[in-house]
Amino acid sequence: QLQASGGGLVQAGDSLRLSCAASGRTFFNYLGWFRQAPGKEREFVAAIRWSSGDTYYVDSVKGRFTISRDNAKTTVYLQMNSLKPEDTAVYYCATRYAMAYSTGARDYSRWGQGTQVTVSS
For 61-103, the DSSP string reads GTTTEEEEEETTTTEEEEEE-S--GGG-EEEEEEEE-SSS---
Q: How far apart are CA 4 and CA 17, in angstroms?
A: 11
**How does pLDDT run across 89-107, given as a tens digit for each residue?**
999 999 999 999 999 999 9
Mean per-residue pLDDT of the chain: 95
Instruction: Report yes or no: 24 and 95 within 8 Å, Cβ to Cβ.
Output: no
**How does pLDDT run across 46-89, given as a tens digit for each residue?**
999 999 999 999 999 999 999 999 988 889 999 999 999 999 99
Average confidence (pLDDT) over 6-35: 94
